[in-house]
Chains A and B, each alone.
Chain A
Amino acid sequence: MTSITPYHTTAGNPRDGFGQLLHAEWTKFRTVRGWVIGLIIAFLITAGLGVLIAKSAGGSCEAGNGQTQHAVACGQPTYTVGPGGVLVQDQFYFVRQPLAGNGSITVRVTSLIGLSPYTGPGPVPAPQRTSVPWSKAGIIISGSTRPGSAYAAMMATGGNGVRMQWNYTGDTPGLPGAVSAASPRWLRLTRDGDTITGYDSADGAHWTPVGTVTLAGLPSTVQAGLFVTSPRQLMYSATLGSGTMSSSPTEATAVFDHVSRAGRWPVKGHGEVGGAWTGDDIGAGGLQVSPASVGSHQAAGRFTVTGSGDIAPLIAGATNDGPNITVRDFLLGTFAGLIAVAVVATMFMTAEYRRGLIRTTLAASPDRSRVLAAKAIVIGSAAFVAGLAAAAGAALIATHIAQRSGGLFSVFPEPWPTELRIIAGTAALIAMAAVFTLAIATVVRRSATAILIAIVALVIPFVLSAPPGIPSSLVDWLLRITPAAAFALQQPAPQYYQVQANYLASSGYFPLAPWTGFAVLCGWTALALLLAAYLLRRRDA
């Protein structure tokens, strides 16, 4: 009887060889010239389209036709910068007195009426009374009268109840409901050092604190008083293929009484509080319904104040009033680069089946999930590098072109964390899309089906969101549930509830927050990978 000596490999446990597996997959990837070229093409398309967009934006100003449907802000507009570097709009009518040190101001608002602009053809009729939801009337404590100063304010609004707002982006709701003579609103602000607390009341007797905020570096003497303002109304209409944005100013008139103050205010003679009030059209120069109409009138303790403008962050994007080119616009070519990456990721798996290489691969590494993991890491990393180079290249070159254009057009200045998120996020989106496509290709094994699923899931919803006129409810719905939700990583600026604007997906305002959108893609990728691992184990290769 012969004994058979079982063969023992001199190599270690195959489970130890994940590094070698990675190396093997990397070798497969880098030695196929077409795949490396595919990633280079992805880089070139993404960066090249960014440069094209930057070049064409500058060119439109040189041609002198800046007012196109996607108007480019030609010339070098000067923007007001608020606390923390946000671009802001700071325009309101201010009836003020200086307050030295700590103190408080209390008023009653009995009326707030909005006036809409006249936009139609024919002779100009009297402006119409209307409700502007974010017209504001109330009290404000501001560091100075310079636009962009730190401030905190309590206000009644045209359609959003009482609010406390501070430093342009802060917003907290107070009492709901509209202001009228029958249901007036009492407002109070108290200052204690850098800390300001807002209160509201329906009857002047029972007060509720709305919010307490700290305004860093508030000077010891601040400007405090009554203010009224009313934002521009934005209209956006779109037909399939073209959209037009128009905006027109509104104004609001409010009536205040029961003005009372505590603290070191100017005195009028016998130590009694009550010096003269100064009326200022802060940030004047904007368009009013009729420029003469802003101002204030005081009689028997009643103040009637009319103002126009807004105290709010500027909203970026082609369909809004702010600087309309954002870094995100330079990265619009991402979707085309994504198609090239998806083609490479598909072939990275389907070529194994087509050439029969999969049998060699699985013979060399029998643990199939590990093969999938190694492939995912290799394609994901390669796509990340290509995506990072493309996004950083597009952003840097296009911004450089913008600066070289000599102020012919301006780019919305992003805080650096946002810019970093947009660039690194684009790379992460491309990398995760590559892994998603690889998993899909493993499941379906056929190039055509895999690339179809990848393009329909990742690219088509984005493509539908770009041109104006496709119903936004359809687009928003698609950008919530499909893997294309991850394009939210390129969102250039937050959407403010308290600022009415055209937050359209075509300007980069996606329905989901940046990382939530990315999580949707990660979820789909995880599902696809699980299914791929399961099928790869269960099926014959």
Chain B
Amino acid sequence: MSLRAVGLSRTRYGSRARYGREALHAEWTKLRTVASTGWLLLGAAVLTAAVSMAADASATCSPGGCQADTAKLSLTGVQAGQAIVAIIAVLAVSNEYSTGMIRITLTAMPRRLTVLAAKAALITGLVLVAAAVAVLASVLAGRLILPGHGFTAAHGYPPLSLGNGPVLRAACGSVLYLALIALFTLGVATAVRETAVAIGFVLGLLYVFPVVTSVIGNQHWQRHLEQIGPMTAGLDIQATAGLKSLPLTPWEGLGVLALWAAGALVFGALIFRFRDA
């Protein structure tokens, strides 16, 4: 049923763009006024930077020569920070269901897809900001800490710099990676609605691929699993060394994660559109 058919003429909302703005404003108010959003964003940034620093500090370059991808090493924290990013996205949806708020939301904004789009846009924006801060801090930490652990220019490791093309791609790609994780999770959470189930499913799916590929003996299967897994493929964007041995090119890898995110969002949107709230 269109808006016109139920008697809501365009005079109430004006144009489609105005409707979208209203939806964005409503979602922003909801996110902004829940204390956990800010704390979780801060937590994601701090955890990412802290784990990256811990990885930097515990890495060593042995005198015989070291084989490390310093950009990837200094961005290790993304693997931990993504857990909190996923939780932010889950809560944005599941909190509405657990409090019954969803019924008010949908009464005020009957266009469900617009509601979901507004949520997705806001979560993406917030995660992009937090991720940019976290990634900058991680790269900076790598630049300061790694030379003290033997990763010096003399050993073939110039200090990390965003002026270096591959490092810049790894850093920007990591920010995009976290945003895509948020979108993927948002789609899943819209479909399953339960907080615990959504978080368990997303984190299980992310972490199962790297763990299983680490033990699988068959190179063929291993490569395929690495290409399919949202985390293993997506993190290819962080590689700055040994690109030829990667199962996918960095941008292809991020593309696989984007496909996962798009698939989850479409699936979530369809269910959201046709299911009773």
Interface positions of A (Cβ within 8 A of B): 34, 38, 45, 49, 52-53, 56-57, 59-60, 63, 65-66, 68-72, 237-242, 318, 325, 329, 332-333, 335-336, 339-340, 342-343, 346-347, 350, 354, 409, 446-448, 450-452, 455-456, 459-460, 462-464, 466-471, 473-474, 506
Contacts and interface: CB of A to CB of B under 8 A. Distances in A.
Interface of B: 36, 54-55, 58-60, 67-69, 72-73, 76, 79-80, 83-84, 87, 90-91, 94, 98, 194-197, 199-200, 203-204, 207-208, 210-222, 241-242, 245
Nearest to B245: A242
Contacts of A241: 72
Given A57-B218, A452-B199, A463-B211, A474 B54 contact: yes
A239 B69 contact: yes
Given A68-B218, A318-B215, A448-B91, 11 more contacts: A52-B212, A70-B217, A71-B217, A240-B76, A329-B215, A448-B36, A448-B196, A448-B199, A470-B76, A506-B214, A506-B215
B194 A347 contact: yes
A242 B69 CA distance: 11
Given A343-B200, A474-B54, A474-B55, A452 B84 contact: yes
Contacts of B98: 354, 447
B68 A56 contact: no
Contacts of A471: 55, 58-60
B196 A347 contact: yes
A71 B219 CA distance: 9
Contacts of A333: 208, 212
A286 to B, nearest CB: 23
A347 B79 CA distance: 26
Given A56-B221, A473-B58, A448 B90 contact: yes
A239 B195 contact: no
Contacts of B245: 242
26 contacts: A34-B194, A56-B217, A56-B221, A57-B218, A68-B222, A70-B214, A71-B217, A239-B72, A239-B242, A240-B69, A240-B72, A318-B215, A339-B200, A340-B200, A340-B204, A354-B98, A446-B195, A448-B91, A451-B196, A455-B83, A459-B203, A463-B211, A466-B210, A470-B76, A473-B58, A474-B54
- Select the residue from B54, B200, B245 with max chain A CB neighbours within 10 A: B200
Nearest to B90: A448
A199 to B, nearest CB: 40
Given A239-B242, A456-B83, A471-B58, A53 B212 contact: yes
Contact of B220 (A63, A238, A318): A63
A28 to B, nearest CB: 16
A239 B67 contact: yes
B214 A466 contact: yes
B68 A239 contact: yes
A235 to B, nearest CB: 9
A28 B261 CA distance: 36
Given A57-B218, A68-B217, A336-B208, A470 B196 contact: no
Contacts of A447: 94, 98, 194-196, 199
Contacts of A66: 217
Given A346-B196, A347-B194, A452-B84, A470 B212 contact: no
Nearest to B210: A467
Given A470-B76, A474-B54, A459 B207 contact: yes
A462 B203 CA distance: 13
A242 B223 CA distance: 12
B219 A65 contact: yes
B211 A448 contact: no
B195 A448 contact: yes
A343 B197 contact: yes
A53 B196 CA distance: 28
Nearest to B60: A471
A296 to B, nearest CB: 34
Contacts of A335: 207, 211
A354 B94 CA distance: 12
Contacts of A506: 214-215
Most B-side CB within 10 Å, residue of A34, A38, A455: A455
A470 B55 contact: yes
A332 B211 contact: yes
Contacts of A464: 79
Contact of B217 (A49, A57, A332): A57
A56 B212 CA distance: 11
B218 to A, nearest CB: 4
A508 B73 CA distance: 23
Contacts of B241: 239
The 7 closest A-B pairs by CB, nearest first: A60-B218, A471-B58, A72-B217, A343-B200, A447-B195, A56-B218, A466-B211
Given A239-B242, A463-B210, A455 B218 contact: no
Contacts of A342: 200
Contacts of B217: 56-57, 60, 66, 68, 70-72, 325, 409
A63 to B, nearest CB: 6
A16 B194 CA distance: 36
Nearest to A437: B196
Contacts of B59: 471
Nearest to A508: B215
A237 B218 CA distance: 20
